[in-house]
Amino acid sequence: MVLFVIAFLVLVALASASPVNQRSTFAIGQTQKTTSGVVTGHAAKNRTEVSEYLGIPFAKPPVGELRWKAPVKDCAAKFQSPDLAVGLSDANVPGIILLTELMQLGHQTSEDCLSLNIWTKPQTGEKAKAVLVWIFGGGFATGNSANPIYNGEFIADNEDVVVVSFNYRLGIFGFPGITGVDGLEQNAGLLDQRVAIEWVRDNIAAFGGDPKRITIFGESAGGASVDFYSYAWTKDPIVSSMIAESGSVSSFANPQPKDNVGFWDITAKSLKCPTTKENTKGSVDCIRSKHTEEVLEAAKTENPLQAVLGHFGPTIDNKVVFGDYETRSAAGSFIQKPFMNGNNDWEAGLFVLIGEGAKIKIAPRIWDVFNAAVFTCPIQRAANARTNNKVLNYRYRYFGDFPNTYLQNDNKGAWHTAEISQIFGTTESVTAVPNTPSEARLSILMQKAWTSFAKDPASLQKAPFNFPQYNAQDSNAPTLIAFGGSPNETHKLVAPFQWDLYCDPITSLTSTIPGGIAAAINNVATGGDLGVPGLTVAELPDMKPAPFWTYSGDA
C-alpha cells in the first residue's frame, strides 16, 4: 500500500510539473528524427544554450535530370552540416562589411542547395514555440542561408521562438522562365520555398516549434517571395502570418514577364547550344548537360545593377506566379492571414553606390522614382490590398542609419537591406563595431515586434508597442510605423501620405515602361534610354524629399 501511495504521488508530481521543468532534460543539439533522416545539432557559437542544426536537406539535390524540375521531397540521406559563412571583408566602412556578406562575395555556390537551418531552445519557455521562417533576398539571383547576417541564434535566445532559414534555387537554375518542355518549371525556386515550408510543418514540433504558428518573413526578393506565396497557396496556407520587407509581387516587374526567353537564349548561344527559337527541348537538354560553373558563367550579366536586381526572375506560369495581381487583390484572392510589410526610407542608396562604383551615371531624379516605384508604392499596394479586405495589417518604414551600417564615411540614409541585421541582432557580430545605445534599443524593439507578431499578431496593438492597424482609406491618419532615425525614440507613428503622394502618377508612368523602372535603370546603365519613345528624365516627377529623420548623435 505504501509503495502504491508513493507511486501515485510521483505520478501526480510529474503531471503537475511545469512545461519548463518537463523539458529540462533537453540536451543541446540532441539528435532528432525527421523526414530527412536523423539529424544532430550543436551549441550555437554565441548563445550556447541555443541548439543549432545546419544544412538539413529538405529535398533531393536538383541536379542532372532534376535540374529545372519541381523539388523532390524524398531526401533522407547522409549529409554534413556546414558552418555559417565567414571571411569578412577588411573594408574600413562597417556597412561595406555587411554588404560584402549580403552579396555573398567569396561564398561558395552549389546546385546541391536545398537545405535548411534551425535555431531553437526547447529546454525553456513555451513548450510549442512560434516559428519564424526566413526567406533571403538577392534579386532571385544571389543569396544563401549560411550568411552570418541571417544567424538566428540571437532571436531564438532572446525571444523564445524557433528560427528557420533555407536555400532555394536562384538565377537560371531557379527561374529559367521558358515554356514548351514537359517537366520544366518556370519558377522552380518558388516551388523550393513551398517544399521547405512543408518540411517545417511536418518536422518542427520535434525541435520545440508550433506547426500551427509558422510565420514566413523575407526581404527584397524574399519579401516578394512572401507575397508570391500568399497568392499561390490560398487553399493550403500552412503559415499563420507573413512579414514582407522591401518586396511585393509588383516590386520588380508590374506586370510580371511571361518568360525569360531573351536571357535564356543569350546563355544558350554562349554555351553553343540551340536557342529556344531553334529547338526549345534541344536547348534545355544541351544546357542541362553543362556543368554548373559553365552555366553560371554563360548566364551572368556584366551590368552590375542588373546583377543585383536580377535578370532571371519569376515569370507568369499561372501556378505560383500570376499576371492579374490587381484583380486578385481586389477580390481578396490571397491568404487572408495577418500581414506586416514595409520598406526602408532610402532603398536606392545601395543601388546608387553600386552604380557609382561602376562609373554608371544615372540622374538623381531617376533614383527618386526608382525608390518609390520599386519599393514604397508596391509596399503601399500590398498593404492596401490587405486592409481593403479587412485583413489585420501593419505597415512600417525604416529610417535607421547608424555608424556601423554606413556604406560610406557619412550618413546616406536607410539603404536597401539595412534593417536585416537589426532584426536578427547580428550587426555587431558581423561588423565587429559596437551598436550605439539608440541602435541597441531599436534592434531589441524590432526583434520583439517581429517575434510578438509571430506569436500573436494582435498583440502589437497592445503595450509596449501600441501599433495601429494600417489605414488604407486615410493617408493622413498616423498609421505608418516609423522605426529608427532618432536618438531618443525607437519609433513613432506618422501619416503615410508624404511618401505615397506620388504613387498613382508613378505607377501610371512606369507601367508604360517595358519591365518597369528596374528595366529602365538597367537600360540607362548600358547607355540606353528609359525605354519609352520620347520619354526623357525631365518628364519624370520632380519628387521633393519627404521630411524624414536623420541620425544626429546618440542618447
Task: Find out whether the peptide bond into 211 is cis, omega within 30 degrees of 0.
Answer: no
Residue ranges with strand state E in 192-344 = 209-219, 241-245, 339-344
H/E run at residue 21: helix 19-22
pLDDT at residue 137 in the model: 96
Specify whether the backbone of 294 is left (phi greater than 0), alpha (psi in -120 to 50) or beta.
Answer: alpha
Q: Which residues are registered as beta bridge partners of 42?
A: 52
Q: Is 29-257+317-539 in CATH node 3.40.50.1820?
A: yes
Q: How high is the pLDDT of residue 359?
A: 87
Asked if the peptide bond before residue 464 counts as cis, ω within 30 degrees of 0, the response is yes
pLDDT at residue number 302: 83
Torsion of CA 139, 142, 147, 152, to 10 degrees: 40
pLDDT for the residue 5: 40
Which sign, positive or negative, has the C-alpha torsion 105, 108, 110, 112?
A: negative
Answer for the pair 129, 210: CB distance below 8 angstroms, yes or no: yes
- According to DSSP H, which parts of 315-426 are helical? 325-331, 348-357, 364-371, 377-388, 420-424
Q: How far is CA 85 from CA 151, 189, 323, in A?
A: 10, 22, 37
Residue 23, pLDDT score: 53
Given a contact cutoff of 8 angstroms between Cβ atoms, the answer to whether 49 and 121 are in contact is yes
Report how far residue 105's alpha carbon sits from residue 93's, in angstroms, rounded to the nearest whole number.
Answer: 16
* Cα separation, 285 vs 271, whole angstroms: 12
Distances, alpha carbon 424 to alpha carbons 421, 428, 450, 451, 457, in Å: 5, 11, 10, 11, 19
> What's the pLDDT score for residue 22?
41
What pTM does this model have? 0.91
Instruction: State the CB neighbour count (10 A cutoff) for residue 293.
Output: 10
Can you tell me the distance from the alpha carbon of 440 to that of 413, in angstroms, rounded to the nearest whole number?
Answer: 18
Intervals of the chain under pLDDT 70 = 1-24, 74-109, 410-411, 544-555
- What the block records as the C-alpha cell of 190 is 518558388
Grid coordinates of 533: 519613345
pLDDT at residue 88, rounded to an integer: 29
pLDDT at 105: 53
Identify the bridge partners of residue 118 per DSSP, sorted by sequence position.
Answer: 53, 164
* Selection from 383, 369, 395 nearest residue 503 by Cα: 369
Among 138, 150, 137, 219, smallest CA distance to 398 is for 219
Domain residue spans of the chain: 29-257+317-539
H helix and E strand count, the chain? 21, 13
Q: How far apart are CA 361 and CA 358, in angstroms?
A: 9
pLDDT at residue 512 in the model: 76
pLDDT of residue 91: 42
Dihedrals phi, psi of 218, to nearest 5 degrees: -160, 165
Non-local (6+) Cβ contacts of 462 within 8 A are none
Position 76 scores a pLDDT of 55
Q: How far apart are the first and last CA of the chain?
A: 68
- d(CA 362, CA 380) in angstroms, rounded, equals 26
Q: At what angle do helices 364-371 and 503-510 cross, to 10 degrees?
A: 100
CB count within 10 Å of CB 497 equals 14
CA pair distance 209, 194, nearest whole angstrom: 18
Interatomic CA distance for residues 114 and 107, integer angstroms: 16
Query: In the β-sheet with 42-43, what is the strand arrangement from edge to edge?
Result: 42-43, 51-57, 115-120, 162-166, 129-135, 209-219, 241-245, 339-344, 393-398, 480-486, 489-494
Alpha helices in 58-111 (DSSP H): 94-102
CA dihedral 506, 507, 510, 512 (to 10 degrees): -130
d(CA 296, CA 301): 10
